[in-house]
Amino acid sequence: MEFVVEEGKLVNEDCSTLVLPALSIGNVGQLAVDLLVSSTGAERVGYLDDPNLLPCVGNDAYGPLPCGEIALPLEVYESSSIATTLAQQRSPVAKGMMIKFAENIANFAASSGKKHIIVLSSLDFQRLHNLDMSRGPQVYYLSNAESDGRDDHCERLGFGRLHEYDSEGRCWKYLSSVFEKNSVEELALPSEDELEDIDYYPSLPFAALFSAFKARGLKMTCLLCYCSEGDNIPEAFLLAEASSKLMGLTPDKFHGEGGKWQIPYSWKSMYGAPPDMSMF
């Protein structure tokens, strides 16, 4: 993985927090990062070139007017006002290459001096067995602060620990053995026919990222929510707000009107043009 700095841009070494999505159902993590980039006024400083990402190209997602800038598969933004780097991933990882991609981005984070990594992602709503409607939408977390994934700060913020995390589970142990090179235990990933329900969570991209950053000794927090395919803008706000709470951001840091979230311009065409009402 190569970090390419845009011409004329300087990287701020004080941006010690890295926020990035892990692609999953509903693209909630990516939408949440869109919100954070747009609302904090983060500036693109470069991009990460990784052979394990599928190629893609698109229009600038944040500018109100065409300015000749194109969106690339993995872009790096910085917001000096909140001392945070945001990485936006716009294309999926090639099949079978998630381990290598996670290792590469963990190396990038470590070499660039990042102290805290926050991964935003989503989980399949059909996997949620204990639904408590009285609490409203719930944010779940997974941290490497404790061996069981618990983090006191996340608990104080009202996030729920991902109880499905089991560091001794076979797939979680496999991920640890892959990234911790000094592991004496040689483990194999179960075949698709052998996978069980409990293996769903460690099979997702956030789990590989979690294990990779953990192996590099970096402070790591995954913020997760359950959703289904469809309009997941509410879930994007949920994760963006959760990450801002985790980072201790106040509304005065946002560029939206009255210190509120600023909706990315690309969202205006997210679901196409409205129907022609003359048809009805």
Q: What does the pLDDT look like over 147-194, one tens digit per residue?
A: 999 999 999 999 999 988 998 888 898 899 889 875 545 556 666 666
Fold of 15-252: Rossmann fold (3.40.50)
What is the pLDDT confidence band of residue 13, given thresholds at 50, 70 and 90? confident
CA distance 85 to 216: 18
For 201, residues 6+ apart whose C-beta sits below 8 A from its C-beta are 123, 162, 164, 165, 207
pLDDT confidence of residue 49: 95
pLDDT confidence of residue 210: 96
Whether residue 33 contacts residue 88, with contact meaning beta carbons closer than 8 Å, is answered with yes
Query: How far from 227 is each of 123, 136, 262, 272, CA to CA, in Å?
Result: 6, 13, 23, 22
pLDDT confidence of residue 258: 61
Whether residue 154 contacts residue 174, with contact meaning beta carbons closer than 8 Å, is answered with no
DSSP per-residue string spanning 194-254:
G--GGGTGGGSHHHHHHHHHHHTT-EEEEEEEEE-SS--HHHHHHHHHHHHHHTT--GGG-
Q: Model pTM? A: 0.90
